[in-house]
A = this chain, B = another copy of it.
Amino acid sequence: MSSSESPDTSFEADFLIHPEWLIPMTEKGLILRGQSLAISNNKIIAIDATDHLKKSCTAQQEITLDNHALLPGLINAHGHSPMALFRGFADDMALQPWLEEKIWPAESQWVSEEFVRDGAALAIAEMLRGGTTAFTDMYFFPEEIAKVTLAANIRTIQAAPVLDFPTVYAQDADEYIRKATELNDRYKNNNMVLVAFGPHAPYTVSDSPLKHISTLANELEIPIHMHVHENVHEVADAITQHGNRPLERLNELGLLSHLLQCVHATQLEDVEIEIMANAGVTVVHCPASNAGLASGMCRTQDILDAGINLCLGTDSAASNNELNMFNEMRQAALFGKTSANNASATTAWDVLTMATVNGARAMGMEDALGTLETGKLADCVAVDLDHVNSQPVYDPVSTLVYSVQSSQVNYVWVDGKLCVAHGDVLTMDTEAIKHRAAEWAEKIH
């Protein structure tokens, strides 16, 4: 190598990745070719011309990915991971009978620490396999889920549940809240496990615990993750019971802030969108679950136009019935166009932004996640576009959103660690996980 070609500095990396397309999500429409990305420890340490990096960087593993797009890891902003064990258990039913006749009775019979670990493992295996690198979760025994996430090396927000009524996990709202704060203490300063308060919904948590949660969330600076305005019945019942719409009640209780994440929000009036925008509330859109339960359509384009941080979630596999952020992006685009009656609404770029940049913002990690940039945490995904269902490629973002199957995810890094290679989950025993799931289904059936 002549001195004129010599790089400015030479450095070492764990991984040096040469994708066909690099989609940093730092700027709308920006798709890089001939660029590579270097990872060291848990961070992206360089993005630069392939020729340059090949000279300047010595990597433990150099991975050339022809026909692959490299993008930020997808962030699933809402789910209940252990419910993967109820996938397909009760379909084609509306929300309330589905909950009251099927899900809640099954939960009260079967949920335990073991159930939670096995279900979370199944969900996490599916999510990692499909390019999801972080997920927000709301379920009983979040401390057990956290153990599974740490072993699998996936990033999570555990929204510790709060309800008025007793379950196997806690006796009353105070106990739920105490457990949530204890969990937060345990994982303080851990960037793989974040904790939030998860008051289930306006109709299952009364004013006093909500006020308490609001105070604590502000003190601890952690999110409040809550189902809000999931369907028209929730809103109608609240008007009957409290005399106002749930969002109005939450606003009066002081919950509307940048810490609040409203999940579903299929029923929004113009003034509510304005209030949420002004308060800096995040909305988590779950299009497939909303459709499956006939909960109504979210006004995605109006929410985006208002400048609200709109994220994307699968909800649980019991109502989805998959934890597939590629399909969820497609659903969000298709339902977004349908609800706006406008084919230019909720574009491929919009939904990929929702699944990356906006998800990171909801986690309070926009400085560390959501885009591919030097210095950020190395959560990234490589997708093979060289399949008959995703050829030809005019615009790789269109291909990713509208044509790709999550089975085309070949490589996944989370926090700099390779978790999926050649489509195999390296950090989990998927055969054992499937076997355990089948055993649970035998019992639950």
Binding site for B on A (CB under 8 A): 85, 87-89, 91-95, 98, 122, 125-126, 129-130, 288, 290-294, 296-297, 317, 320-324, 327, 331, 333-335, 337-338, 340-345, 347-348, 386, 388-395, 398-399, 402-403, 405-408, 425, 430, 433-434, 437-438, 440-441, 444-445
As for how many copies of this chain the complex holds, the number is: 2
- Which residues on the B side are within 8 Å of A406 (C-beta)? 389, 405
Which residue of B is nearest A89, CB measured? B394
Contact present for B130 and A337 (CB under 8 Å): no
Partner of A125, one of B95, B388, B392, B434: B388
Q: How many angstroms between the C-alpha atoms of A343 and B405 in the bound complex?
A: 26
Interface centre among A92, A93, A333, A441 (most CB of B within 10 A): A92
Q: How many angstroms between the C-alpha atoms of A334 and B338 in the bound complex?
A: 13
Partner of A297, one of B85, B338, B405, B441: B338
Contact present for B402 and A91 (CB under 8 Å): yes
Contact present for A394 and B434 (CB under 8 Å): no
Q: How many angstroms between the C-alpha atoms of A93 and B88 in the bound complex?
A: 35
A343 touching B95 in the complex, CB below 8 Å, given contacts A291-B335, A391-B87, A392-B438 = yes
Q: How many angstroms between the C-alpha atoms of A379 and B440 in the bound complex?
A: 34
Contact present for A94 and B323 (CB under 8 Å): no
A94 touching B343 in the complex, CB below 8 Å, given contacts A88-B403, A122-B388, A334-B331 = yes
- Which residues on the B side are within 8 Å of A403 (C-beta)? 87-88, 317, 321-322
Contact present for A438 and B391 (CB under 8 Å): yes
Q: How many angstroms between the C-alpha atoms of A338 and B386 in the bound complex?
A: 34
A88 touching B398 in the complex, CB below 8 Å, given contacts A345-B294, A433-B388 = yes
- Which residues on the B side are within 8 Å of A347 (C-beta)? 91-92
Q: How many angstroms between the C-alpha atoms of A340 and B92 in the bound complex?
A: 12
- Which residues on the B side are within 8 Å of A393 (C-beta)? 88, 438, 441
Contact present for B294 and A340 (CB under 8 Å): yes
A437 touching B391 in the complex, CB below 8 Å, given contacts A293-B343, A322-B403, A334-B292 = yes
Which residue of B is nearest A323, CB measured? B389
Partner of A343, one of B87, B92, B337, B444: B92
- Which residues on the B side are within 8 Å of A444 (C-beta)? 394
